[in-house]
Amino acid sequence: MRTVVKNVVMKHKVWVIAATMTAGALLSMASAAQPAGARAPAARAATARHDAQVGPPVVVELFTAQGCGGCIEANAVLERAAAEPGVIALTYGVDYWDYLGWTDTFARPEFAQRQRAYRAALRQRGVSTPQVVIDGRRQVSGARGLELETAIVEEAGRQVWPPEIEFRETGDRVGIGSGRPPAGGAEVVAVTYIPGPQVVEVARGENRGREVRHVNVVRDIVRLGDWRGRPALFDLPETQADEAVVVMIQGKTDRRILGAAVRN
């Protein structure tokens, strides 16, 4: 068995997110019924809504598996989301598809455990792939691109004032500002990942003979400590030259992400 993992250069894509599913449908109808000149105002309006998005980034976490036949489309959906400003997109490989004959090269048991923690917080019966969790608050099937787009826009539009996250110039520590912790308390988590896409050639299982493409693959999760609403300083995990770190402030009980920032 031979696994080939290769980094490829991501092409920049323009992905204009519709403000709602209804708005997306209306734009589609206009596209079919009107000439190009008549479509311009609607297109400009959609772009203006997109450009007006301000505030903290939206964290989009995909739970996927190289041995899952239905996950390839979800991987592509997440890659489009990752190219959008204001979105932190992360891919977690889970290991519970390995029984089909292919051992996922990116999966770790703690990633499936993170998904199970979301299952409990979101009051779901079980876990499934592909699954996307947005800001720890809601979930969608990873293959439902329009539903994901709508969820991202809605989360970006929430009026929130997250605690400040500031990386020290030395690169080995992060400061968390003051704020109101949620019921049940909050913790600070560091997620290490490899930015950009990677391609894996799968030799067995449902995707036998196919190339499976992932973006922003998570390598490790480290809990840095509790956040109690007062300013605090935490040590960051060591990383390799090709890795980046996302620091999240996350509720312990409800798993809501209160704030997030990336150190490249």
The answer to whether residue 6 is domain-embedded is no
Q: What is the pTM of this model?
A: 0.79
Q: Does 106 share its domain with 216?
A: yes
pLDDT of residue 60: 98
The boundaries of the domain holding residue 79 are 53-263
The answer to whether residue 7 is domain-embedded is no
The answer to whether residue 42 is domain-embedded is yes
Q: Indicate if the alpha-carbon torsion angle 93, 243, 142, 201 is positive or negative.
A: negative
pLDDT of residue 144: 83
Half-sphere exposure of 96 (CA within 13 A, CB side): 14
Count: domains in the chain: 2
Q: Does 218 share its domain with 112?
A: yes
Last-in-domain residue among 30, 52, 74: 52
The answer to whether residue 14 is domain-embedded is no
pLDDT of residue 143: 78
pLDDT of residue 50: 42
CA 253 → CA 57, 117, 187, 206, distances in Å? 21, 9, 10, 36
pLDDT of residue 185: 95
Question: Residue 76, exposed/middle/buried by CB under 10 A (0-12, 13-18, 19+)?
Answer: middle
Buried/exposed code over 128-159 (b: 16+ C-beta within 10 A; e: otherwise): bbbbbbbbbbebbbbbbbeebbbbbbbbbeee
Q: Does 162 share its domain with 257?
A: yes
* Tens of pLDDT, residue by residue, the chain (264 residues): 444 444 433 333 333 333 333 334 333 333 333 333 333 333 333 343 344 345 789 999 999 999 999 999 999 999 999 999 999 999 999 999 999 999 999 999 999 999 999 999 999 988 989 999 999 999 998 878 899 999 999 999 887 789 999 999 998 999 999 999 999 999 999 999 999 999 999 999 899 999 999 999 999 999 999 999 999 999 999 999 999 999 999 999 999 999 999 997
pLDDT of residue 175: 98
CA 96 → CA 1, 13, 66, 228, 249, distances in Å? 20, 32, 11, 35, 27
pLDDT of residue 9: 35
Q: CA-CA distance, 24 to 40, in Å (whole number)?
A: 15
Domain CATH for 136? 3.40.30.10
Q: Does 44 share its domain with 60?
A: no
CA 225 → CA 157, 178, 183, 186, 208, distances in Å? 29, 15, 17, 9, 41
pLDDT of residue 54: 57
Q: Does 191 share its domain with 248?
A: yes
The answer to whether residue 104 is domain-embedded is yes
